[in-house]
Amino acid sequence: MIRRTFLLAASALTLTATLSPAQARDQWTKAQANGWHATQPWQIGANYTPATAINQLEMFQAETWDPKRIDLELGWAQAMGMNVMRVNLHHLLWETDAPGLKRRMNEFMTIAARHNIKTLWIFFDSCWDPDPVAGPQHPPIPGVHNSGSVQSPGAARLKDASQYGKLEAYVKDVVTTFAKDDRVVGWDVWNEPNNPGGGNYKPTPDKNKYVATLLPRIFAAARAANPVQPLTSGVWIGDHWDDQSKLDAVEKIQIRESDILSFHDYSWPEKFEERAKQMLSYGRPVWCTEYMARGNGSTFDNTLPIAKKLNIAMYNWGFVDGKMQTRFPWDSWKKPYTYEEPTIWFHDVLHFDGTPYRQAEVDLIKRMAAAPKGVVPAAAY
């Protein structure tokens, strides 16, 4: 386990400014990617924000940082066999307190490593509120799914090319700090970059045009730090990911630049398997970095056996029910669940106190995690 000495913000900016394109590593070849992936255990985990935080800003800002709660929850994850967590960052965390952000990232990974869990970090996110603000975050909107999640960089910064250098510096600095850290399983450079936003928020005009300009620069900024971990960005919408003629400009960049390919799927198992095989057709390892929406047909029971057989890493959405309120479905933005609970939870695995929403799901995760790589235990069917 590697421990890094944290640099003062000014020193970090000086360091990243001196990195030249010549120092950046190339994209991994298919052989390199598959060779690296062969050394890894089968990954199973969740998209993680502690139940006490409404978004990544509240998770990592000093005033609301909650390591005791994180330690408790990651202990629950370890007990059910989870070995990875996908965790969202935000450029505003770095811009307002870069040394503090990196200290807390280090502390998070120290806690996670005690529980035999590695971290997949996300730099940017195109989903939900397009106008993020650092500082105290508003309380959850009653009955509404993900009511406090915020985009990064957000509409204003995305449209302002003069700010791109600072966004690149954020990525370079963070990756440089942890580029050789074996507690990092990878870098997810942008979550659903071509997502219009979701919720009741107004979409950003020409969003894809701006993202298609910035996304290659973000990949290059991460590679400039020469990380030993893979880079990825997951496709999430469409039916023909193996047909380049049917991909938009952003999706082509995601597939062209990723060391490990990744995708999201909240559909029935037959659609999951179809999409998984489309991604595997490129000859690279594949991770599913979001899945599991019970009311949408995506469940642990029907999806995990397929993924285990195909050696696809699996990160379900949501872990412990809390301020993000993702037990409520997406349609709660139009009809909030303030009168009664949904018939079934949409996301999340555990109640706030750690008891399972559905014990059979936890038992299945344990069995799948304990079985040898590529082996689906008979009891999983």
Give exposure, 38-53, as e/b (b: 16+ Cβ within 10 Å): eebebbbbbbbbbbbb
Q: Is 87 helix (H, G, I), strand (E, B) or coil?
A: strand
- Per-residue pLDDT band for 339 (boundaries 50, 70, 90) equals very high
Are 23 and 226 within 8 A, CB to CB? yes
Q: Edge-to-edge strand order for the sheet containing 286-290?
A: 231-232, 184-191, 118-125, 84-88, 44-47, 313-317, 286-290, 261-264
Question: Can you say whether residue 37 is alpha, beta or left, with left for phi > 0 and alpha for psi between -120 and 50 degrees?
Answer: alpha
pLDDT of the residue at 381: 58
| N- to C-terminal Cα separation, the chain | 37
5-62 pLDDT, tens digit each: 333 333 333 333 334 444 678 999 999 999 999 999 999 999 999 999 999 999 999 9
> DSSP code of 40?
S
| pTM of the full structure | 0.93
- Residue 77 has phi, psi (to 5 degrees) of -65, -45
- The mean of the pLDDT values for the chain is 94
101-135 pLDDT, tens digit each: 999 999 999 999 999 999 999 999 999 999 999 99
187-236 pLDDT, tens digit each: 999 999 999 999 999 999 999 999 999 999 999 999 999 999 999 999 99
What is the rounded distance in angstroms from the CA atom of residue 340 to the CA atom of residue 343?
9
Instruction: Kindly tell me if the per-residue pLDDT of 3 is higher than 80.
Output: no
What is the rounded distance in angstroms from the CA atom of residue 364 to the CA atom of residue 42?
15
H runs (alpha helix) in the chain: 9-18, 30-38, 56-60, 67-79, 91-114, 155-158, 164-178, 207-223, 249-257, 269-280, 300-310, 359-370
Residue that the structure tokens 């909240």 belong to: 266
